[in-house]
Every structure is written in structure tokens, then in C-alpha cells.
Amino acid sequence: MIWGMKMKMKRVLTAAILLAMLALPAIAAPPDGKSTTGLGAAVAEKWIAAWNSHNPDKMLSLFTEDVVYEDVAFGEVSHGTAELRKFFVSEIEGVPDLELKLLSSNIQGGHGTIEWMFSGTDKGVFKTGKTFSVRGVSVIDMREGKIFRNLDFYDSATIMRQVGQLPTPPADAK
């Protein structure tokens, strides 16, 4: 009987811990979803502004020399600032009117996320001349005030559908 009670208590405690873990991000997040104070908000705003500047030097100033920047959707990995510069320039050439809008950010203790909306006109990626817009998130790690690891996640199929490279699923598809 004691064994059964211990197991039941263990299950209840495990369930309580899992519920707390699920609820914690909602409790900790600001009401509008944006990090509005401190280093986190400043980093996210500078990151967005650097992309929107179309200036490689402004972008590279945010990163350590040994940065690893990965565009997960297209499988592009840049090691160090020289490779990151090439990647950044290729993105601007491929989407000359590239624009990012900050949706939310949460950066604490040297780790966090920047959620964004990326839009522009496909000039050099698929060479369609069509516009697109896709939501994504960057996961970053920082050291001494600079980003040393950056992973970009977004749905490349969304872009491909919008520029006519993939068929649009039927409206009744689930």
C-alpha cells in the first residue's frame, strides 16, 4: 500500500513539474511578447537594423570573429566573419529590397530568440521577380556582448510557394 502511494505521489509531482514548465514561458514573457528592456531588446533591435541597413560592416559589428551563422532552411553555414560577410552580401544581392520586422525577442543570460518577419522581392535566389514574406526566428548565443552563434529557422517552402516555385496546396488540404 505504501508503494502504491509513493508511485501516485511521484506521478502527481511529475505532472505538476511538467505543467509548471509549460506555464513558465507565458508567465515570464511580457504581455506584448517583446523584450522591452535591457541588453536583449537592444541586441534584437540592432540585429534587425543591421539586416535592414544592407551594410555588411554594420552587420558584422554584432558578431564575434569566430561566429557560426547557420541558415537552417537552406543549409548554409558560415564560419567566421569572412564567410558571414559573403553570406550577408549574397542575401542582399538575392533580395535587394530585403526587410525584416521585429515581432518579438527574448534574450537572457547570453541566449535567446529573435522572432521576425522577412519580406522582399526574389531577384537572385529563384530569379522570379516575385515578392514574398515569411515569419522566422533566430536562436542566438552571446559572449562578451556579441553574437557567436546564430541559427535562423523559417519555412523555405512558404517562400517557394509565394514566388511560384512550389504549387500552393488546395484550400481544403489539412
pLDDT above 80: residue 97: yes
CATH topology of domain 35-162: Nuclear Transport Factor 2; Chain: A, (3.10.450)
pLDDT band at 38 (very low <50, low <70, confident <90, very high): low
Percentage of the chain with pLDDT > 90? 72
Say what the pLDDT of residue 24 is. Answer: 38
Q: Which is more confident, 20 or 98?
A: 98
Mean pLDDT of 139-148: 97
Distance, in Å, from the CA atom of 86 to the CA atom of 89, rounded to the nearest integer, reads 5
Kindly list the distances between the CA atom of residue 88 and the CA atoms of 27, 57, 78, 111, 159, in Å, as whole numbers in the listed order: 36, 10, 10, 22, 18
